[in-house]
């Protein structure tokens, strides 16, 4: 499909490499040749930038040899070899550099277009435990020099930004990240979207876990991409062992990492979504309100990020549902806790001990049932305090009625069945409406059910619990002033794909045999509002045949609301995430449906009842999503219509 011809760099992706080459200690020319070999191999990889470890031209463990004039001279010659390399990849390599005032600095050299475009000195010099850098190196804090050399004119100082295309990166070195006020924080506030760290962090028991978390959390705190290259196992092992740990993180999430202790060195190639990071920064008022540092210098590079016809990073087709079993287990427990605690708190505030719930035999009301049971348990109230109502109408199937009965029996809740068919028929007669299976016929049923449920809640002195999920709210797949309304909607920020996951998890991990069987029956039932009369009494409507697959809509919803992506970018990413499952034409069709409905149905979200936020995406009009009912989608729909699917 169209994704094959897509240039993902146009959507803000930048591919970068972290490399841990084999080093020969105190042999800069040999090390430079190793670096050049890597750069030449990376030339056809689509990488725009290649990051090498701290002091990679000399080896980090050269110790007192750093004071040798010959080694410093050879390091500069090695840097010249890197400059002479024909690779278009911007190289960031480490070397010792002696300043004109006879101070020695541990530096990162940024090389592009055959010359050095900047030297960034390390500012935080460790001199404790196994580290002894203060013996050789001065801190680069406050340094700001302009240098004319045989390798180009460049600045030496920590406060530098480098721009490639429309993306900006900055550099810090090893210990700079581990201190209370890392330079990377200021670099990010000054505009760097990507931080590169040349490191030589040795391996100790559990240190890799701490290092990984440090990199990940730095990327989250600074809303940036973070690429880390650690010195490898070919460094001296006289007292320390280095593992060549390569890490990439983006806004708090680990994108990729290498295996450690590889004797032959290693490479980590990864894409950063820098447009997404810019969106995150624009939305984050804490980031926007933080004071900006002064004194940063910007160097625009002649290099251009290469075209990316594919992405190496994994694109999750179900961004709301974790694919790791351990994470899934913990996430399900946490979400159910948030939902049930929210409901229990509302019950205490209202001074009620009873709940009312309409049970349809579908996924949403089933999840709401499980949440209600947990809320009652938290308040030491019996399951019988949940009053379930089964409200069959003209389109209700025997299958779902049996499911409701099974759920009620398995959970020991109170259940009453009230047919709405005659009341709906009388209502339609009053309207002189003769047509069936149209919007009036459907909405009459939905509103009759809601009237009964609210009045039942009044009768028992309880709260009507809403069941509509986030995906339905996004699409407006609900009836205004009917299932759109409730006393408290526990599913308001749970998308459909996650609803199914939570019900399945409950069946597998918490339910006894009878309830588990009932839940599996729910999961096997086609999603349907059951508002159309069918001759056979079966399930006549199937929601996903009408409005499209929920897994696609949840993907669209996540990337539009959470990431602020354009329809073109969402389409391209969906083509990768769902390759082999949906054609380009299918993705385009349902993407248009999503945006048509998302904009046209905003008025239903403007008046939503309260409900707990459980994830990063919410459409609450009081919280995360404020949108005018009259917002226009014309330009977005035109962009979708222009998409090529061949």
Domain hosting residue 433, numbered range: 325-641
Residues 587, 457 share a domain: yes
The total number of structural domains in the chain stands at 2
- Do 288 and 399 lie in one domain? The reply is no
SS3 of residue 415 by DSSP:
strand
Q: Is the pLDDT of residue 1 over 50?
A: no
Same domain flag for 468 and 331: yes
Among 252, 284, 300, the domain boundary falls at: 300
CA–CA dist 639, 643 (Å, integer): 7
Same domain, 537 and 475: yes
User: Would 2 be classed as within a structural domain?
Assistant: no
Helix (H) or strand (E) holding 406: helix 398-411
| pLDDT at residue 535, as a whole number | 62
- Indicate whether 317 belongs to any domain: no
DSSP code of residue 558: I
Q: Where are the beta strands (DSSP E) in 346-494?
A: 355-358, 386-390, 414-417, 463-466, 488-489
Answer with the one of 266, 300, 334 that is the final residue of a domain: 300
The tally of CA atoms less than 13 A away on the side-chain side of residue 168 is: 17
What is residue 2's predicted lDDT score, i.e. its pLDDT? 40
Please state, as a whole number, how many other Cβ atoms lie within 10 Å of the Cβ of residue 284: 13
Closest CA to 243 of 497, 435, 53: 53
Give 497-541 pLDDT, tens digit per residue.
999 999 999 999 999 999 999 999 999 999 988 888 876 666 767
Torsion angle, alpha carbons of 267, 270, 274, 276, to 10: -150
Same-domain check for residues 144 and 233: yes
Q: Are residues 61 and 119 in the same domain?
A: yes
Q: Residue 263: pLDDT above 90? A: no
Q: What is the pLDDT of residue 537?
A: 60
Same domain, 31 and 157: yes
In-domain check, residue 496: yes
Contacts 24+ apart (CB under 8 A), 258-261: 258/18, 258/20, 260/203, 260/208, 261/203, 261/233
State whether 287 and 355 are in the same domain: no
- Is-contact 177 214, C-beta < 8 A? yes
Provide Rg for the chain, Cα atoms.
30
Q: What is the pLDDT of residue 629?
A: 97
Higher pLDDT, 435 or 60: 60
**pLDDT attached to residue 323:** 85
CA–CA separation, 327 vs 331, rounded Å?
A: 6
Same domain, 365 and 277: no
For the entire predicted model, the pTM comes to 0.93
On whether both 252 and 355 belong to a single domain, the answer is no
Catalytic sites, residue numbers: 54, 122, 174
Domain for residue 228, yes or no? Answer: yes
| Residue 313 counted as domain residue | no
Give percent helix, percent strand, percent coil of the chain, each to the nearest 5: 40, 15, 40
Q: Is residue 316 part of a domain?
A: no
pLDDT at 65 > cutoff 50: yes
Question: What pLDDT, in 10s, does the model give residues 579-636?
Answer: 999 999 999 999 999 999 999 999 999 999 999 999 999 999 998 999 999 999 999 9
pLDDT 10s digits, 555-587:
999 999 999 999 999 999 999 999 999 999 999
Report the side by side order of strands in the sheet with 167-173.
Answer: 253-257, 246-250, 225-230, 194-199, 167-173, 160-164, 297-300
CATH no. for residue 471? 3.40.50.620
For 113-156, what is each residue's pLDDT tens digit? 999 999 999 999 999 888 999 999 999 999 999 999 999 999 99
CATH assignment of the domain containing 130? 3.60.110.10
- 190 and 121 share one domain: yes
Same domain, 243 and 364: no
122 located within any domain: yes
In a domain, 306, yes or no: no
Question: What residues pair up with 488 in beta bridges, in sequence order?
Answer: 465
Instruction: Report percent pLDDT > 90 for the chain.
Output: 92
Can you give the pLDDT at residue 365? Answer: 98
Q: Range with the lowest mean pLDDT among 105-114, 488-497, 540-549, 596-605?
A: 540-549
Cβ-count burial 237-247 (b if 16+ within 10 Å, e if not): eeebebbbbbb
Q: What is the pLDDT of residue 3?
A: 40
Across all residues in the chain, what is the average pLDDT?
Answer: 95
Phi, psi of 71 (to 5 degrees): -65, -40
Q: Which of 248, 267, 300 is a domain's end point?
A: 300
**Section 300-314 average pLDDT:** 94
């Amino acid at each position: 499909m169209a994704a094959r011809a897509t240039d993902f760099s146009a959507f803000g992706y930048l591919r970068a490499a972290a490399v841990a080459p084999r080093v020969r200690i105190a042999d800069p020319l040999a090390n430079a040749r190793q670096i050049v070999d890597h750069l030449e191999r990376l030339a056809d990889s689509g990488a725009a930038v290649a990051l090498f470890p701290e002091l990679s031209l000399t080896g980090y463990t050269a110790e007192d040899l750093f004071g040798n004039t010959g080694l410093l001279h050879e390091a500069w010659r090695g840097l010249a070899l890197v400059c002479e390399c024909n690779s278009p990849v911007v190289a960031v390599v480490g070397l010792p550099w002696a300043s004109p005032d006879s101070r020695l600095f541990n530096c990162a050299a940024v090389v592009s277009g055959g010359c050095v475009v900047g030297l960034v000195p390390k500012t935080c010099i460790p001199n404790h435990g196994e580290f002894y850098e203060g013996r050789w190196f001065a801190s680069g804090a406050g340094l700001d020099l302009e240098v004319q050399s045989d390798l180009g004119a460049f600045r030496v100082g920590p406060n530098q930004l480098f721009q490639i295309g429309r993306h900006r990166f900055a550099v810090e070195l090893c210990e700079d990240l581990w201190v209370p006020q890392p330079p990377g924080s200021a670099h990010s506030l000054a505009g760097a979207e990507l931080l590169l760290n040349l490191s030589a962090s040795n391996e100790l028991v559990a240190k890799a876990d701490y290092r990984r978390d440090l990199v990940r959390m730095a990327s989250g705190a600074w809303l940036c991409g973070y690429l880390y290259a650690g010195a490898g196992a070919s460094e001296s092992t006289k007292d320390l062992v280095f593992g060549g740990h390569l890490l990439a993180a983006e806004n708090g999430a680990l994108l990729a990492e290498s295996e450690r202790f590889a004797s032959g060195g290693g490479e980590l190639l990864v894409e950063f979504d820098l447009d997404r990071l810019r969106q995150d920064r624009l939305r984050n008022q804490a980031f926007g309100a933080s004071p900006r540092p002064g004194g940063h210098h910007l160097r625009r590079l002649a290099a251009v990020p290469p075209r990316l016809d594919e992405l190496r990073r994994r694109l999750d087709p179900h961004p709301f549902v974790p694919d790791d079993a351990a994470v899934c287990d913990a996430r399900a427990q946490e979400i159910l806790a948030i939902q049930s605690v929210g409901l229990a708190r509302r019950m205490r505030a209202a001074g009620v001990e009873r709940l009312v719930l309409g049970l349809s035999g579908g996924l949403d009301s089933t999840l709401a049932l499980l949440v209600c049971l947990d809320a009652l348990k938290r308040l030491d109230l019996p399951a019988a305090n949940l009053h379930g109502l089964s409200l069959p109408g003209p389109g209700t199937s025997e299958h779902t009625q049996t499911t409701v009965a099974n759920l009620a029996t398995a959970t020991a809740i109170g259940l009453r069945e009230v047919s709405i068919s005659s009341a709906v028929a009388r209502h339609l007669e009053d309207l002189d409406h003769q047509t069936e299976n149209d919007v009036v016929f459907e909405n009459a049923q939905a509103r009759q059910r809601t009237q009964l449920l609210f009045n039942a809640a009044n009768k028992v002195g309880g709260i009507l619990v809403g069941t509509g999920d986030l995906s339905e709210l996004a699409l407006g797949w609900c009836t205004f002033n009917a299932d759109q309304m409730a006393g408290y909607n526990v599913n308001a920020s749970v998308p459909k794909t996650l609803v199914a996951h939570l019900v399945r998890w409950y069946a597998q991990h918490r339910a006894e045999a009878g309830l588990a069987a009932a839940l599996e029956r729910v999961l096997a039932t086609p999603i349907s509002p059951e508002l159309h009369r069918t001759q056979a009494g079966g399930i006549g409507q199937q929601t996903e045949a009408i409005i499209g697959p929920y897994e696609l809509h949840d993907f669209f919803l996540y990337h539009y609301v959470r990431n602020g992506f354009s329809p073109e970018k969402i389409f391209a990413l969906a083509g990768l995430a769902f390759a082999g499952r949906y054609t380009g034409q299918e993705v385009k069709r349902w993407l248009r449906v999503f945006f048509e409905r998302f904009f046209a149905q905003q008025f239903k979200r403007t008046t939503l009842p309260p409900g707990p936020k459980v994830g990063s995406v919410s459409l609450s009009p009081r919280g995360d999503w404020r949108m005018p009912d009259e917002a226009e989608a014309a330009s977005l729909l035109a962009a979708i219509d222009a998409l090529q699917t061949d």
